[in-house]
Amino acid sequence: MAVRVPAIVGDIWFNTSHPITPEELSGRVVLVDFFDYSCVNCLRTIPHLRKIWDRYKHLKFFIIGVHTPEFAFEKDSENVEQALKDLEIHWPVVLDNDYINWNNFANHYWPAEYLIDQNGYIVYQHYGENGYAEIETKIQELLVTDFGDKGLPPIEEEKTKDGRYCTISTPELYCGHSRGRIVNDGGYHYDHIANYIKPDEIPEDSIALAGQWNAMPEYLESFAFSSTLFLRFRGTEVNLVLEPAEDDLASIHLELDGKSLSDKIAGKDVDQSDVIITKSRMYNLIKTDKPLEGVLSIKATESNFRVYAFTFSGCI
């Protein structure tokens, strides 16, 4: 049974001069996208949403983005506004810092898509990546009642490369002590600066520390140029949510099993094994066309930085 869509509320909106009201959406097909700008799955979804927006925005179709933050820095409206520009998101977006819309929709996922018909009922839901052709098909099924087939572009099937396959990769790893785990003897020293000694062995899919770090609920913060984080991982891609501490520019140096990263495995945010941290966002550290296993070291080289969460991929 279709469910009536709750009103989408918020004091801070982007890409619109005023809050979008239910009256403005009446008679329109609406896609509601719950996202978070540092979420890797959301980032992979956004190009597909841009294509849908460009294809149907001239019809009675609307996208509303609901930005529900996972980390504290994503509550900052200036950070979100800059991220929307960087990601080329042009449809209206509401800041959902208090999870009001998230809870009203009983949502539990990033990203999550809710398709609303012309009468204001949720008629389709999709969680996570992929399913873009199916979402577009559902949009067209609703729009055809108003426009027939006129003006509706052909739907392109999702393309995959021949021979594409996925291997098991490291699961998402959080760095802060509220959801994370380190393998150092004694674990975290909660909420204060402490000196950590690297363990002799780092188990698979684990994080270890060396040097001075402050372990906070959401993040780990380096406190010396010698501060190093060690990650034992497996996969084809490594991403890390990073932020410069105290608004300073920060930089880190990466090594895999004690060697600088080659161009074949360096991610898009890496330059000669270094990453310049200019803002709070997700950084791509490793991207390769074959499965990798090893220990990635992340060492502070200029100012201090914060690490929030690692995400991975095992797909070729």
Written as tens digits, the pLDDT of the chain (316 aa) is 568 899 999 999 999 999 999 999 999 999 999 999 999 999 999 999 999 999 999 999 999 999 999 999 999 999 999 999 999 999 999 999 999 999 999 999 999 999 999 999 999 999 999 889 999 999 999 998 877 666 688 887 655 554 567 888 999 999 999 999 999 999 999 999 999 999 999 999 999 999 999 999 999 999 998 899 999 999 999 999 999 998 779 999 999 999 999 999 999 999 999 999 999 999 999 999 999 999 999 999 989 999 999 999 988 7
Does 138 lie in the same domain as 178? Answer: no
On whether both 113 and 21 belong to a single domain, the answer is yes
The domain tally of the chain equals 2
> 208 and 278, same structural domain?
yes
Domain boundary among 147, 181, 213: 147
111 assigned to some structural domain: yes
Residues 185 and 303 in one domain: yes
Residues 11 and 141 in one domain: yes
- Can you give 8-70 as a three-state secondary structure string? CCCCCEECCCCCCCHHHHCCCEEEEEEECCCCHHHHHHHHHHHHHHHHHCCCCEEEEEEECCC
> Are residues 193 and 106 both part of a single domain?
no
One domain for residues 141 and 188: no
Is residue 196 in some structural domain?
yes
Q: Residue 142: which CATH number? A: 3.40.30.10
Whether residue 155 lies inside any domain: the answer is no
pLDDT for the residue numbered 149: 66
Classify residue 183: in a domain, yes or no: yes
Read off the CATH number of the domain in which 304 is found. Answer: 2.60.120.260
Q: Angle, nearest 10°, between helix axes 132-147 and 40-56?
A: 20
Based on the fold, state whether residues 118 and 15 are members of the same structural domain: yes
Structural domain for 96, as ranges: 3-147
Structure tokens at 41: 């799955």
Residue at 160 is within a domain: no
pLDDT of residue 3: 80
Structure-token pair, residue 260: 């600088």
Is there a domain that residue 168 lies in?
no
Asked whether residue 125 is assigned to any structural domain, the reply reads: yes
pLDDT tens digits, one per residue of 102-123: 999 999 999 999 999 999 999 9
Domain boundary among 147, 182, 217: 147
Q: Are residues 64 and 111 in the same domain?
A: yes
The verdict on residue 115 lying in a domain is yes
